[in-house]
Structure 1
Amino acid sequence: MKIKKPLALCSVIASLLLLSHTTADYGGRSTRSSILFYTNGRFGLEFDIFTLPIQFDSTPNSGNEFQITDGRSINYNGHFPSMFSSSSILRNNQILTTNKDSPPPIHLIYVSERNGSSTIYLDAVYHGGRDRDRRRSALEVSNRVQVPLVGDQQSNGLISMKDRPSLVGDHLIYASTHENIGAPRMSWTAVYSTHLRTGLTRRLTPNGMTDFSPAVSPSETWTAVASYGDRGWSGEIQELRTDIFIFRTDDGSDRVKVVEQGGWPCWVDDSTLYFHRVSDDGWWSVYRAIFPKSGKISVDSVVTQRVTPPGLHAFTPATSPANKRLIAVATRRPDSEYRHIELFDVASKQFWEVTRPVSPQAHHYNPFLSPDFIRVGYHRCGGQRKGGKDTRLLLENLHSPLPEVSVFRIDGSFPSFSPEGDRIAFLDLQGLNVMNLDGSGRHRVYSGTLFGTAWDPVRKGVIYTSAGPYFAPVGNEVDVISINIDDDKLSHKKLTGGTENNAFPSPSPDGKWLVFRSGRSGYKNLYIMDAVNGEKGGLYRLTDGPWDDTMATWSPDGDWIAFSSDRENPGSGSFALYMIHPNGTGLKKLLDSGSGGRINHPCFSPDGNSIVFTSDYAALSAEPISIPSQMQAFGEIFTIRLDGSGLSRITHNPYEDGTPTWGPVSMRAADVQQAVD
């Protein structure tokens, strides 16, 4: 399609040249600020850990299911430690007495996402006294102790994801993402050991390597991991084709590969472990690895056997040294839409359903067994929430690694701050919403399929967005529109015309121009048009090539436009972060995420010195198959300075974080609940 010529192209270019060299003193200003971002599918996930007694003489029922965790945020990947180990790390005043005829206490170690980061907790739930009767939830039990074991303090204040904990005496073995591996698309996940009495932490995974899902042997001598080694992640979101390594638990020495292609290891004794992989027939299955009784342990000397039959998916196995014939697995059967926990006899090949009779229409994840084989644990959604209240948040305050910057997860995509910093615009499935910083005054100002939001810096109450389908080809009709949300009639104006794919508008600081992406040439390149009258008032092509340039954003001083582009490998889906002057000069690549990697949705900091963006730069944080259903089990929020230095990871989790914005106001560090209708 022929590009429309502006009415006065020379004056447009002159204006852009002038704009790119004004307000040079902006970078010297220092203000507190806030970052908002959206996590796909995160809100509404309220996992709790449950347990059922193992009874083969009766069918499990809801009356026997006990909710252990206390209904705060996401609680997952539990572990039943030995009573001796867990009691030894509790202070004397934390060990409660019970009646001799009361059920034994339940000790649980698990991961909990609360207060903005992941922490590993020990919960001890005691029955007795007025709680001697059977209760279905720890919320109903007054005698409980909850102790945070590992948080930010063990990583020098760096936030991280912490996963699959095991207690070994006074040491906690777990996976963490707090150390940058130093290369794009390499997972930061490694296994660590923390001495709980002193806080001394040591890395057990060799530098430059990635280990997931640690499991400690019954003797506590060995730890097994699903390892990605030193390979870069190539984009798999189901099976990672990790290998299983073992090493000494105390110091990480004597590391050796024992299985090729396997994940989620667990031990039944020090010479036998179970793991999962995709079989040649396409079914996820559990396998057994048997070590030689003598001689060198290696891939060649370890015997592997398929354990679970074809015809169903079985993954994330769990074992107990008290019963070597029975394992617990998560299954996905062809006649069910849900993942359930079952027990499996490896000798007779018989299954016993555990969770489907209790909660047939809920997913159940990652089973674990008590050392005495008395109970099975797992996590699922739909637990009793603390106080019986809906805990869904509109704004969730997260721990920030950046001084003077607040970080929030918002329950809505494409957030943006008003120029005054007093309002937030964001999108939901129904359209465009606006609210005050504290979540009050929320109201919908436009209904329809939209993506992207940007406030006019000069005209009060004007928001730019894209109207049309997401991820559409270049020829699909998507238009840039402006909406006057302060107008009594909520007026809107279409700024682009025709059938081209026009999207992601961002205004210049003086409010005169919009940079946006358009497919009018047959490729998605960047254009600049009049902010008030649209392309009819002036249009200038900024980039030109057989690739996709998209998601552009204008710097606060007007000197730069940052954008994502696949220009180095068009059509590959690999997007890097670029910058260019508004007059088309000075193109430079700021950062890429390696071959096949993505960097998207850049946004400048209010002082113009840094950019926030979303990326798969840190690859995956956990085995994807062990994670609740997500669009993508990757995507984190990062910041970087304009000279390419100071890369900082803001979020650490197994979800897809995206569409960040950076606003000129410091929001109060507190969660905001969803308004109740």
Structure 2
Amino acid sequence: MKYSYQKALSCFFLFYFLLSQCQISNATAEHYRGGASSIAFATVGRPRYAFDIYSLRISDPSKELRLTDGNSINFNGYFASVSSALPFLKNYSLPSVNLVYVTERNGSTSIYLDAVHFSPSLRVQPRSLLGVSTQFNRVQIPLVGDDKFNGLVSMKDRPSLVGQSLVYVSTHENPGKPRASWSAVYSTQLTTGSTLRLTPKGVADFSPAVSPSGAWTAVASYGEEGWHGDIQELGTDIYVVSTLDGSNRIKVIEHGGWPSWADDSTLYFHRRCDDGWWGVFKAVLTVENGRFHSKSTVAERVTPRGLHAFTPAASVANKNFIAVATRRPGSQYRHIELFDVVLSEFIELTRTISPNAHHYNPFISPDSALVGYHKCRGTTSGGRTNELHVESVNSPLPNISLFRIGGSFPSFSPDGLRIAYVKSPGVYVMNSDGSGARMVSSRSAFSTAWDWKRKGVVYTSVGPTFASETSKVDIISINVDDDDLSYKTLTIGGENNAFPSASPDGKWVVFRSGRSGHKNLYIMDALDGEKGALHRLTEGPWSDTMCNWSPDGDWIAFASDREDAGSGSFELFKIHPNGTGLQKLIQSGSGGRTNHPWFSPDGKYIALTSDYAGVSSEPISNPHQFQPYGDLFVIKSDGSGIRRLTHNSYEDGTPTWGLKASVVANVELSDSESLCSFEDCRWLSISTTKSLGSSNRQCAEI
């Protein structure tokens, strides 16, 4: 039968999808039994990424070609060989490019295979394959994602297609240890759905790269000692394992990341040196009797000092050059360049065609004719940006709507129909479906909370963020339903008063204040503020902050560094409004951060943001994030039963929990801010020391 292969594969995927959904639903139903509701949250910079994958022909890099379809965020590409892609493309003309990549469409991450034809004419008309529509000159196939293979979810780092198996990173398994990364390398056999974990338990692996023969996979890894909070370089070593089953695992390079194979015994990788520059290194591995050995491997620094070079991509067909991302002095942007390893010379690629854009994570086609990378696309040919102000996100919890907004500190109105949020420099209110957004205050603000009893009253903090105890920050109330938008200042003196949360009876507001010289919690009159009444709730030489009042009025949850004051490490606590019953809820390991608690509408659960799951990818491979380890979690109100909601390398934060399950359609940005307005890693500084430090001989040039 002409399409028997595709039909059989489609039937298998459908069966496996239904089976996995049953398994997921049963598991989550045991965790959360509340009524229908919504969690909204913010992600730093994420609404403006809008990444697509592009390529340049190395022999003539004057014309840039966009390879992905402009839908959502597409990144971390890989050119698959014809032999690997062919089983999925029967009855189709051979494409110009087989592109495997990560995509975040439909509210979760997936890995797709796109067969892209450069010519607009096809020898056969493209058809739907595995239930996915084709468009223009591409055939698009989902390989693995949140809706397949038992819900494997993650920021899927650097996928590779090897035969009919996909090698990738997923974060779906909880290692059971706070602040330990969930990132591990897996191999999924796509025709059977059989998935094998290649990473040992208790270990975190990143940035997998499969050798040209397919026999070996190199990973950047750290072991059981865990993650120490680094957001610059993770301090990984490079290991090699058998791609077949993860066996024969051996450390081949100490201190390195982002491995890339030139052949089955030669690796390129990056590391940050004591001289301050990121450099690319080459290592020839020791192989005896077909196996790697732990003998000392000599690594040679190939890129010079004086610029940053990282995320290398080796060329298998042409050993004379590699592709790297660079950040040069005098430039605000990272660009893709070729580096001739024989002549030690750079060849610029992207700067000449798009000088004012960041370009990420190059990869080279099997014939070394093309170099690919991803960057922010700006507007599409039709004028649309696909950059979203409100984005629906797949929720792992039943009855819970989960969505991201293009602002921060959202809060739902008591009836669940509106959301207040902060978007620099002011406070806004919109309908819970993302429509009708309007500014209600133009003052610099952070945090929002609605009054439970007085309709239309929103509390916020006005003043500088991340400021000292003596900074002038006040709490105000805004009646957003008044035609003239009346404002009322509730605090006196301006000693960093912030994070208001109203009591369910509408009589009181809890907030944090630095008036004593330390940030502690206070309760004041909701209508008249401090002038009406003021009570101190907590006292001590530490910071208690980010408070939220439970719907039944019995508890106030808050974040505090009281167990290690001044360290920047925060845990969650709860306390009765009368100051009794202090309980510690959850801690994210030694030195960890757990913040922004918010009670569920029934008061039985708490949403929060935390670094509990460590990091999901090498930070240098992504745009700037203050906390690339920040994900959303839900716990029971007694601190037990932690459940992860988001899996990515962004800073997800400031969650809020609303009364109703909102039906949210994606809403595009409509403001006049410049597109793609996000930063490169701030710590990727051009300021470096002049000489190589004597303590790190690994970075010495040979």
Q: Which residue of 2 aligns with 1:479?
A: 474
Q: TM-score, normalised by structure 2?
A: 0.87
In structure 2, how many angstroms separate the alpha carbons of the residues matched to 1:505 and 1:553?
8
Question: How far apart are 1:523 and its partner, in Å?
Answer: 0.5
Q: Could you report, residue by residue, the CA deviation over 1:257-300 in whole angstroms, capped at 9, with x for unpaired residues?
A: 01111000011111110100012321100011111253774454
Q: Which residue of 2 aligns with 1:8?
A: none
Q: Which residue of 1 aligns with 2:107?
A: 116
In structure 2, how many angstroms separate the alpha carbons of the residues matched to 1:228 and 1:561?
38
Contact kept? 1:241, 1:261, Cα under 8 Å: yes
Q: TM-score, normalised by structure 1?
A: 0.90
Secondary structure, counterpart of 1:187 in structure 2: coil
2:306 maps to 1:333? no
Question: How far apart are 1:131 and its partner, in Å?
Answer: 7.3
Q: Which residue of 1 aligns with 2:682?
A: none
Q: Which residue of 1 aligns with 2:594?
A: 599
The 3 A distance-change label for structure 1 pair 358 and 319 is same
Equivalent of 1:322 in 317, 320, 336: 317
Equivalent of 2:93 in 84, 93, 96: 96
2:202 maps to 1:208? yes
In structure 2, how many angstroms separate the alpha carbons of the residues matched to 1:230 and 1:505?
40
Equivalent of 1:125 in 112, 116, 119: 116
In structure 2, how many angstroms separate the alpha carbons of the residues matched to 1:547 and 1:223?
47
The AA in structure 2 aligned to 1:475 is: T
Contact kept? 2:93, 2:122, Cα under 8 Å: no
In structure 2, how many angstroms separate the alpha carbons of the residues matched to 1:228 and 1:492?
52
Identity rate, percent: 62
The AA in structure 1 aligned to 2:105 is: R
Question: How far apart are 1:653 and its partner, in Å?
Answer: 0.9
The AA in structure 1 aligned to 2:449 is: A
Question: How far apart are 1:384 and its partner, in Å?
Answer: 5.5
In structure 2, how many angstroms separate the alpha carbons of the residues matched to 1:224 and 1:130?
39
In structure 2, how many angstroms separate the alpha carbons of the residues matched to 1:206 and 1:86?
29
Equivalent of 1:494 in 472, 489, 501: 489
In structure 2, how many angstroms separate the alpha carbons of the residues matched to 1:669 and 1:413?
17
2:294 maps to 1:275? no
Contact kept? 1:259, 1:299, Cα under 8 Å: no
Q: Which residue of 2 aligns with 1:574?
A: 569
Question: How far apart are 1:625 and its partner, in Å?
Answer: 0.5
Backbone CA RMSD of aligned residues: 1.9
Q: Which residue of 2 aligns with 1:343?
A: 338
Question: How far apart are 1:520 and its partner, in Å?
Answer: 1.1
Deviates more, 1:430-439 or 1:412-421: 430-439
Q: Which residue of 2 aligns with 1:260?
A: 254
Contact kept? 1:412, 1:426, Cα under 8 Å: yes
Contact kept? 1:159, 1:401, Cα under 8 Å: no
The AA in structure 2 aligned to 1:40 is: V
Q: Name segments (4+ residues, structure 1) moved above 6 Å.
A: none
Secondary structure, counterpart of 2:421 in structure 1: strand
Secondary structure, counterpart of 1:511 in structure 2: coil
The AA in structure 2 aligned to 1:613 is: L
Secondary structure, counterpart of 1:115 in structure 2: helix
Contact kept? 1:158, 1:401, Cα under 8 Å: no
In structure 2, how many angstroms separate the alpha carbons of the residues matched to 1:547 and 1:228?
33
Q: Which residue of 2 aligns with 1:390?
A: 385
Equivalent of 2:45 in 31, 41, 45: 41
Question: How far apart are 1:30 and its partner, in Å?
Answer: 4.6
Contact kept? 1:222, 1:247, Cα under 8 Å: yes
Q: Which residue of 1 aligns with 2:136?
A: 142
In structure 2, how many angstroms separate the alpha carbons of the residues matched to 1:635 and 1:327?
33
Secondary structure, counterpart of 1:634 in structure 2: coil
Q: Which residue of 1 aligns with 2:67?
A: 68
Deviates more, 1:111-120 or 1:154-163: 154-163
Question: How far apart are 1:228 and its partner, in Å?
Answer: 1.5
Q: Which residue of 1 aligns with 2:186?
A: 192
Q: Which residue of 2 aligns with 1:24?
A: none
The 3 A distance-change label for structure 1 pair 145 and 500 is same
Deviates more, 1:320-329 or 1:219-228: 320-329
Contact kept? 1:71, 1:384, Cα under 8 Å: no
Question: How far apart are 1:160 and its partner, in Å?
Answer: 2.3
In structure 1, how many angstroms separate the alpha carbons of the residues matched to 2:328 and 2:155?
31
Secondary structure, counterpart of 1:323 in structure 2: coil
Q: Which residue of 2 aligns with 1:404?
A: 399
Contact kept? 1:43, 1:393, Cα under 8 Å: yes
Question: How far apart are 1:140 and its partner, in Å?
Answer: 13
Contact kept? 2:450, 2:459, Cα under 8 Å: yes
In structure 1, how many angstroms separate the alpha carbons of the residues matched to 2:119 and 2:546?
59
Question: How far apart are 1:519 and its partner, in Å?
Answer: 0.8
In structure 1, how many angstroms separate the alpha carbons of the residues matched to 2:517 and 2:331?
44
Question: How far apart are 1:353 and its partner, in Å?
Answer: 0.8
Unaligned runs of 5+ in 1: 1-27, 98-103, 133-138
The AA in structure 2 aligned to 1:288 is: K
2:442 maps to 1:442? no
Unaligned runs of 5+ in 2: 1-31, 124-132, 673-702
The 3 A distance-change label for structure 1 pair 347 and 30 is closer
In structure 2, how many angstroms separate the alpha carbons of the residues matched to 1:619 and 1:29?
28
2:535 maps to 1:535? no
In structure 2, how many angstroms separate the alpha carbons of the residues matched to 1:370 and 1:465?
52
Contact kept? 2:456, 2:480, Cα under 8 Å: yes
Q: Which residue of 1 aligns with 2:156?
A: 162
In structure 2, how many angstroms separate the alpha carbons of the residues matched to 1:506 and 1:470?
17
Q: Which residue of 1 aligns with 2:686?
A: none
Secondary structure, counterpart of 2:373 in structure 1: strand
Secondary structure, counterpart of 2:109 in structure 1: strand
The 3 A distance-change label for structure 1 pair 35 and 129 is closer
Q: Could you report, residue by residue, the CA deviation over 1:404-463 in whole angstroms, capped at 9, with x for unpaired residues?
A: 000000011111111111111111112111111222222111110111111000011111
2:98 maps to 1:107? yes
The 3 A distance-change label for structure 1 pair 674 and 153 is closer
Deviates more, 1:574-583 or 1:485-494: 485-494
